[in-house]
Amino acid sequence: MARSQWAGLVVSLAVAITVTGCGGGNEPSGIYKSADVDRLVQIAPVTPGWPPWPQAPEPKRAATESPEKLAATDPIYAELRRRTAAIKPSDTWASDNRWQDDNRLAHLAVTALDSSADAHLVFAATNDASRAYGAKYGVVDKAEKVDGLGDEAWRLWAQGNGSQATYHWRRDNLVFEAHIHCFGSDCPDTDAAVDAAARAWADAIDEQARSEHG
């Protein structure tokens, strides 16, 4: 699989949900607001022992298809939309960034939902969608719950043009997705090393979220 093909799939599933919502400026009822999303999504990759990442994220990429058109041709995305159809967040409640060099891609998405119950629903739905995409476009090595991250957390290890690790977690009414994909010659040669890097980044993001509303 070409690098660009997989990278296109990393557009946050959680962010994708928000395009069905309203475009107004209302804030979530939960403790985390749109300003928290804006701050947290700027946290650059934290991967101890790895070469430095670019500190500035790449420019935002405009969507190339409408959600309706994508759902008509992508059953995995259509199922995600069906499961989250009752959730109507504002498009100002979510953001994502990516950092990339010749060997690695890191993608972070942060989405605020109106309540922790809504966030739990999105968390569960995106886990299943990520697992389905991993199986469709590569090989899933591991998909499981993890402890010690947010209020609930899950991770995916997948092979597809290199090693990839994705963490989804929920903290109150926020849902996060942190994804690292190593595809170059200078990357670690084990899934565990990529997973450890993704977990270190997820922990740094979650610690910042917790410290702002401790």
The total of other beta-carbon atoms located within 10 Å of residue 73's CB is 9
Average pLDDT over residues 164-184: 93
C-beta of residue 49 within 8 angstroms of C-beta of residue 199:
no
Between residues 12 and 57, the one the model is more confident about: 57
C-beta of residue 24 within 8 angstroms of C-beta of residue 89:
no
**What are the tens digits of pLDDT across the range 120-170?**
999 999 999 988 888 888 888 899 999 999 999 999 998 877 889 999 999
DSSP for 72-131?
HH-HHHHHHHHHTTT----TTSEEEEEEE-SSEEEEEEEEE-SSHHHHHHHHHHHHHHHH
Domain ranges in the chain are: 3-212
C-beta of residue 93 within 8 angstroms of C-beta of residue 34:
yes
Give the pTM. 0.89
Q: What does the pLDDT read at residue 22?
A: 41
